[in-house]
Each structure stands twice: as structure tokens, then as C-alpha cells.
């Protein structure tokens, strides 16, 4: 479904390569996580796929056709909630549809559907200041889902949440992506999160950003958090990924050798 081919990115002609020869294939219905140290270009890659940034070289293809601008088939969820404080929950959730020119009645109906799916029925008329951080992130997720994209691009959407809320939303995300048959490209710094959520993990290195390795996750869906984390294969995979990242961080001076 998604192909990233020979992607390079520099922010200035004299500046360093942020991404170098990135190649990535994501099949329809696949959940792929991008994992790596800070500064390896994960978010830059995600924004290029979304069409929010342009590559210096290379192409992004969706279903074999070049996709270099934002489109209805792609939706992005950011780490920060990015809700409008003056808009109610339902008006925030329907904002993407409003931008697309969807009639008011239809966009409210779709926003209500996804707010209900995320357990936010009864909070439609609350303002962001009246709901918790986890609920705000649910609204951000509902806003993306309401546009009914085929490809969800998620930039550390749970990074600012407490551990319990984060794990709860991970379970909700898996439930929704399975029921909606979504394709997901997900950025995270957490090895545990990447293993729990993903079919496949792409580990990136930095200076410049590039692919170090890919790991297949050996667990079937649906997944139960406690069961997977107790599985010996979880610990083995986590250790393999950590050792690779540790070696990369030593090589680039992020930690002392």
C-alpha cells in the first residue's frame, strides 16, 4: 500500500542529511512502528509521508501512485493533542471533516460515531479544559478516524500520558485498527509499545537517519497486554532491539562506550 523509495532529506543545501536512502514498504492492514533514538528522523519521515514536508530526493507512493501532498486517504495524529480550546469535543472531532467541506449534519454524525467508539459519549459538549489528558488524546484520535482514512500516521500519540492511560489507549488503538482494518505507521521511543502494537518494527539510526534493521513481531492479533509481556519471546525480542539501539547510540556518541 505504502512505498517509500530512496528518500533523502536535508533542510538546507549545506546542512547534514536528516534522512539517507530510506526505503520502506507497508502492506495494507499492517501496523508498522518506527523506533529509534531522538534525532534519527522518525517524525521527519512521517511528515514526508503525510505530505507536510517535501523530500530532497526520493518518492512516496500510495497504491503505486506518487503521494506528495496531504490527502483524504491519510490522517495524522500528533503527540500533543492540538485541540482548539474554544471548540467543544464534537466540534474538535469534526474539524477535519469541516476542512474537507463535509456538510454539518454528516460530519457531526461521523464525529459522534467515533467519539462513541472511543468511549466519549456524553462528553460531546465539553471543552478541552474540562476533560483529562487521556480524553483529549481520544478526541484527537476521533478527529483523525472521522475522516475515515486508509493510512493512519501516528507521531508518539501516547508519549505525554501516564503509564496506565497509555496502556489503556494502546489496547483501544489495537481494537479500533482491527475493526476498521486500518494501515498504521507509528512513531515511538518505547520498545515495549512497539512490540505490543506492531506486526513489524523498523529500527532507525541517526546521523544520518537510516534503517538499521527490521524485526517481525511473533504475536497474533487480538493481543492482550499482560499475556504478551509475560511471553518469553517478548523479552527476547526486546533485548535484541535494545542491544541494536545501544550499539547505535554508542557509535553516535549518545551514550558513553
Q: pLDDT digit string (tens) for 66-77? A: 998 988 899 999
Spatial distance between the Cα atoms of 39 and 60, rounded to a whole number of angstroms: 21
Is the pLDDT at 108 greater than 70? The verdict is yes
Q: What share of the chain in percent tops pLDDT 90?
A: 70
What is the total count of domains within the chain? 2
Spatial distance between the Cα atoms of 97 and 99, rounded to a whole number of angstroms: 5
Of the two residues 194 and 226, the one the predictor is more confident about is 194
Kindly state the average pLDDT of the residues 87-93.
Answer: 95
CA separation (Å) from 29 to 177, 180, 187?
A: 8, 9, 17
CB contact at 8 A, 176 and 117: yes
H or E segment and range at residue 41: none
Whether residues 62 and 167 fall in one domain: yes
CB contact at 8 A, 71 and 241: no
Whether residues 66 and 88 fall in one domain: no
Residue 240 lies in a domain: yes
Whether residues 131 and 197 fall in one domain: no
Whether residues 178 and 60 fall in one domain: yes
Of the candidates 156, 172, 179, 174, the one whose C-alpha atom is nearest the C-alpha of residue 217 is 174
H or E segment and range at residue 149: none
Give strand pairing partners of 230.
none
Whether residues 168 and 43 fall in one domain: yes
Residue 37 lies in a domain: yes
Spatial distance between the Cα atoms of 175 and 163, rounded to a whole number of angstroms: 19
Residue 257 lies in a domain: yes
Write the CATH number for 49: 3.40.50.300
From 148, 183, 199, give the residue that closes a domain. Answer: 148
pLDDT at 255: 59
Residue 157 lies in a domain: no
Residue 79 lies in a domain: no
3-state secondary structure of 111: helix
Residue 232 lies in a domain: yes
Q: Binning pLDDT at 50, 70 and 90, where does residue 257 land?
A: very low
Residue 194 lies in a domain: yes
Is the pLDDT at 193 greater than 50? The verdict is yes
From 148, 176, 200, give the residue that closes a domain. Answer: 148
Domain with 139, as residue range(s), is: 84-148
Whether residues 248 and 166 fall in one domain: yes
From 116, 148, 180, give the residue that closes a domain. Answer: 148
Whether residues 40 and 124 fall in one domain: no
As a whole number of Å, the CA-based R_g of the chain is: 19
Whether residues 166 and 254 fall in one domain: yes
Spatial distance between the Cα atoms of 65 and 131, rounded to a whole number of angstroms: 41
Query: What one-character DSSP code corresponds to residue 156?
Result: S
Whether residues 223 and 120 fall in one domain: no
Give strand pairing partners of 66.
61
Amino acid at each position: 500500500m505504502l512505498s517509500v523509495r530512496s528518500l533523502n532529506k536535508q533542510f538546507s543545501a549545506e546542512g547534514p542529511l536528516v534522512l539517507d536512502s530510506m526505503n520502506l514498504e507497508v502492506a495494507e492492514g499492517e501496523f508498522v512502528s518506527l523506533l529509534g533514538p531522538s534525532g534519527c528522523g522518525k517524525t521527519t519521515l512521517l511528515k514526508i509521508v503525510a505530505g507536510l514536508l517535501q523530500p530532497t530526493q526520493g518518492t512516496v507512493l500510495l497504491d503505486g501512485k506518487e503521494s506528495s501532498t496531504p490527502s483524504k486517504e491519510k490522517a495524522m495524529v500528533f503527540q500533543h493533542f492540538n485541540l482548539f480550546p474554544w471548540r467543544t469535543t464534537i466540534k474538535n472531532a469534526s474539524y477535519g471533516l469541516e476542512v474537507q467541506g463535509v456538510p454539518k449534519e454528516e460530519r457531526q454524525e461521523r464525529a459522534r460515531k467515533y467519539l462513541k467508539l472511543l468511549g466519549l459519549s456524553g462528553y460531546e459538549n465539553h471543552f478541552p479544559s474540562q476533560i483529562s489528558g487521556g480524553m483529549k488524546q481520544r478526541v484527537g484520535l476521533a478527529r483523525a478516524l472521522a475522516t475515515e482514512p486508509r493510512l493512519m500516521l501516528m507521531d508518539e500519540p501516547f508519549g505525554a500520558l501516564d503509564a496506565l492511560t497509555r496502556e489503556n489507549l494502546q489496547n483501544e488503538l489495537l481494537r479500533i485498527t482491527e475493526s476498521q482494518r486500518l494501515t498504521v505507521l507509528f512513531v515511538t521511543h518505547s520498545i515495549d509499545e512497539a512490540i505490543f502494537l506492531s506486526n513489524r518494527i523498523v529500527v532507525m539510526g541517526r546521523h544520518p537517519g537510516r534503517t538499521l534493521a527490521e524485526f517481525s513481531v511473533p504475536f497474533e492479533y487480538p493481543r492482550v497486554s499482560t499475556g504478551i509481556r509475560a511471553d518469553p519471546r517478548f523479552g527476547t525480542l526486546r533485548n535484541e532491539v535494545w542491544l541494536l539501539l545501544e550499539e547505535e547510540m554508542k557509535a553516535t556518541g549518545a551514550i558513553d562506550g
